[in-house]
Amino acid sequence: MDTVQLQAQLNSLKKRVFFLGVFSITLLFILVLIFACAQNRFDTITTRKINLVDEKGRIRLVIAAPIPDSVMVQGKKFPRATKVYGTQFLDSLGNEVGGIGIEDRFSARILCFDYETAEAMCITKFKDEIGISMFNKPASDAQVGQTGVQRVAMGVSNAEKLAFLILLDNNGKERIKLFVDSSNVAQIQVLDEKGKVVFKIPHK
């Protein structure tokens, strides 16, 4: 092997050593960065949307401002009635099954859990009114979003200074009413199917 060939091989070897050194330093920097990020605690994260997935990678919870403007119900997409900011709960097939929302147009704050096609129960704050509503399961031929018959209504009306609990029958008729009015008088009323009071406490 002559001197020229030996020098060429030596230069080639130097280049390889140089690139190996650069690669090693870069890899070390990346590892240090990953370790630092893993150990770091973020005090503030600013973003528009976060998807939380299950062990199979399916989206099960969405935190967004606003949440998606379409909702999946029984495998089909439907437009959302109004813009909502908050959290969306999804089943394993991607159907919406509930959520927590802030709705600006009506100044509403909402927590709902759903049947397959409509709400099952909701807690709402609308301006100064607070309420809890529970519904029967919708009929099989009901349209998407059409709730079943309301069976329970309870809440606080700040405008009327009234606390109330109302039980309704399967036709949506009020049958038992319990409330404390603005004069701090507690009352219980039992109504027939036509809405006539048939029993009340106090009796006067």
Sole residue written with tokens 């002559």: 2
Residue 89, classed as helix, strand or coil, is: strand
Distance CA 62, CA 67 (A): 7
pLDDT of residue 42: 64
The tokens describing 163, both together, are: 């606390």
Q: Does the pLDDT at position 187 exceed 70?
A: yes
- When pLDDT is averaged across residues 192-200 and rounded to a whole number, the result is 95
- When pLDDT is averaged across residues 49-78 and rounded to a whole number, the result is 93
Q: How confident is the model at residue 43 (pLDDT cuts 50, 70, 90)?
A: confident
| CA diameter of the chain | 123
Distance CA 72, CA 144 (A): 10
pLDDT of residue 52: 92
pLDDT of residue 143: 92
Q: Does the pLDDT at position 66 exceed 80?
A: yes
pTM of the model: 0.75
Distance CA 108, CA 129 (A): 10
Q: How confident is the model at residue 117 (pLDDT cuts 50, 70, 90)?
A: very high
pLDDT of residue 15: 57
Distance CA 127, CA 106 (A): 8
Q: How confident is the model at residue 45 (pLDDT cuts 50, 70, 90)?
A: confident
Q: Does the pLDDT at position 23 exceed 90?
A: no
Cα dihedral 126, 148, 174, 123 sign = negative
Q: Does the pLDDT at position 24 exceed 90?
A: no
* CB contact set of 89 (below 8 Å; sequence gap of 6+): 60, 61, 96, 97, 98, 99, 113
